[in-house]
Chains A and B, each alone.
Chain A
Amino acid sequence: MPKIIIDNHQIECRDGIPVLQAALEAGFDVPHYCYHPSLSVVASCRLCLMEMKMPHPKTQEMVWSPKLVPSCQTPVRDGMEVRFKSEAVTKNQKACMEFFLLNHPLDCPVCDQAGECYLQDYSYHFGDAESRMVDQKLVNPKKDIGPGTLLYQDRCVMCTRCVRFTAEISGTHELCMVHRGSRTEIDVFPGLPLDNPLQGNVVDVCPVGSMLDKDFLFKRRVWELSGTPSICPGCATGCSIRIDHVDNRVYRLKPRYSPKVNDRWMCDEGRFGFKYVHEPKRISSPIVRRGLERTTPSWEQLPEIVRFRFQKHVSGNGADRVAAMLSPFMACEEAWLLIRFIRGVAPEAALAMGPVPAEGEDQHFPVGAAGQAVKFTIFAEKCPNRRGIEMLLRAVGGATLTFEEFVEQSGKGEFSAAWVVGGYPKPWVEKDTAKIAANIELLVVQDIFDSGLVAGAAIVLPARAWVEREGSFVSAAGLVQPFERAIATPDGGRHDGQYLYEIAGYEGLFSAERVREMMAESISAFREIYEAPVLPAHTH
Chain B
Amino acid sequence: MYESRGGYRAVRKALKMTPDEVVAEVKKANLRGRGGAGFPAGVKWGFLPKDRTTTLLCVNADESEPPTFSNRVLMEDDPHQLLEGTIITGYATQAQVAYIYMRVEFHEQFHILQKAIDEAYAAGYLGKKIFGSDYSLECYLHRGAGAYVCGEETGLIESLEGRRGWPRIKPPFPAVEGAFRRPTVVNNVETLSCVPHIIERGADWFAGIGPPHSTGPKLFCISGPVSKPGCYEAAMEITVGELIERDDMGGGMLPGRKVKAVFPGGVSMGALTADELDMKMDFVDPGNYGLLGLGTAAAMVVDQDTDMRMVLRNVARFFGTESCGQCTHCREGTAWMYRIATRMEEGAGRIEDLDILLETARNMGMMPGLSICGLPDGATFPIETIVKKFRSELEEAIRAQAPGRVEAVLSAVN
Contacts and interface: CB of A to CB of B under 8 A. Distances in A.
B398 interface: no
Interface stretch (A133-141, A143-151, A273-281, A378-386): A133-141
Interface string A433-473: 00000000000000000000000000000000000000000
Given A134-B414, A135-B339, A180 B147 contact: yes
A181 B329 contact: no
A362 B363 CA distance: 51
B372 A67 contact: no
Contacts of B414: 134
A98 B363 contact: yes
B49 to A, nearest CB: 15
Interface in B299-335: 320-329, 331-335
Nearest to B149: A180
A9 interface: no
B211 interface: no
A99 B332 contact: yes
Contact of B329 (A41, A96, A136, A180): A96
B292 to A, nearest CB: 16
A479 interface: no
A392 interface: no
B410 A133 contact: no
Interface in A177-192: 177, 179-184
A47 B323 contact: no
B169 A42 contact: yes
A contact patch SS: loop
Given A95-B329, A102-B332, A177 B164 contact: yes
Query: What size tier do the contact residues of chain A reach?
Result: 35 or more
Nearest to A92: B370
A104 to B, nearest CB: 10
Interface string B140-181: 000000010000000000000000100001000000000000
Interface string A88-104: 00011001101110110
Nearest to A95: B363
Contact of A99 (B324, B333, B410): B333
B400 interface: no
Query: What size tier do the contact residues of chain B reach?
Result: 20 to 34
Contact of A182 (B147, B334, B364): B334
A184 B320 CA distance: 12
B356 interface: yes
B379 to A, nearest CB: 10
A99 B328 contact: yes
B368 to A, nearest CB: 4
A327 to B, nearest CB: 50
A132 B340 CA distance: 11
B413 interface: yes
A252 interface: no
A319 to B, nearest CB: 71
A67 B369 contact: yes
A43 B328 contact: no
Given A41-B169, A138-B335, A182 B356 contact: no
B327 A136 contact: no
Q: Quick one: which of A73, A92, A102, A138 has the most chain B CB within 10 A?
A: A102
Give 4 closest A-B pairs by Cβ, nearest first: A184-B325, A182-B335, A99-B332, A95-B363
Interface of A: 41-47, 49, 66-68, 70, 73, 91-92, 95-96, 98-100, 102-103, 132-136, 138, 157-158, 176-177, 179-184
11 contacts: A70-B169, A92-B370, A102-B332, A132-B356, A133-B336, A136-B339, A136-B413, A138-B335, A158-B326, A176-B164, A180-B147
Given A157-B328, A183-B335, 17 more contacts: A44-B326, A67-B370, A91-B363, A92-B363, A96-B329, A99-B328, A99-B333, A99-B363, A136-B339, A136-B413, A180-B147, A181-B321, A182-B325, A182-B331, A182-B334, A182-B335, A183-B325
